[in-house]
Amino acid sequence: MKVMVRAIVKVVPGKMAEYMELDKKSEAISTRVGMPPLRRYRCFSGDSVNTIVYEQEFDSLAAMEAFNEKAMANPELQAIFAKMEAVMESQINEFHTPIP
């Protein structure tokens, strides 16, 4: 069963450039440990200008769990994630499956 992960991240105002630099580094490392392609969306008007929406699709829950285990065991990623958390206001994760 395919799983689409959608994350909604609100970045602290004035910290978007710092966040995006960290995001670029985390994507490079995450790709090496098996992350599927990631799509990013950013609001260009309205009240959500400091919000980024990420979407990615895994072939199964098992594949998603395997990637997460590798990512959480990677010390480089852990250091980057800690820095990212410092410039984030919030993060919401959603998990979706296709409707047959």
At 17-64, the pLDDT tens digits run 999 999 999 999 999 999 999 999 998 777 788 999 999 999 999 999
Mean pLDDT of 66-94: 96
Q: Write down the pTM of the prediction.
A: 0.88
- Does residue 3 contact residue 67 with C-beta atoms inside 8 Å? no
Query: What pLDDT score does 9 carry?
Result: 97
Q: How confident is the model at residue 78 (pLDDT cuts 50, 70, 90)?
A: very high
Please report the domains of the chain, with CATH numbers, ordered by start residue.
Answer: 3-96 (3.30.70.100)
- Does residue 54 contact residue 38 with C-beta atoms inside 8 Å? yes
> Helices then strands (H, E): number in the chain?
3, 4
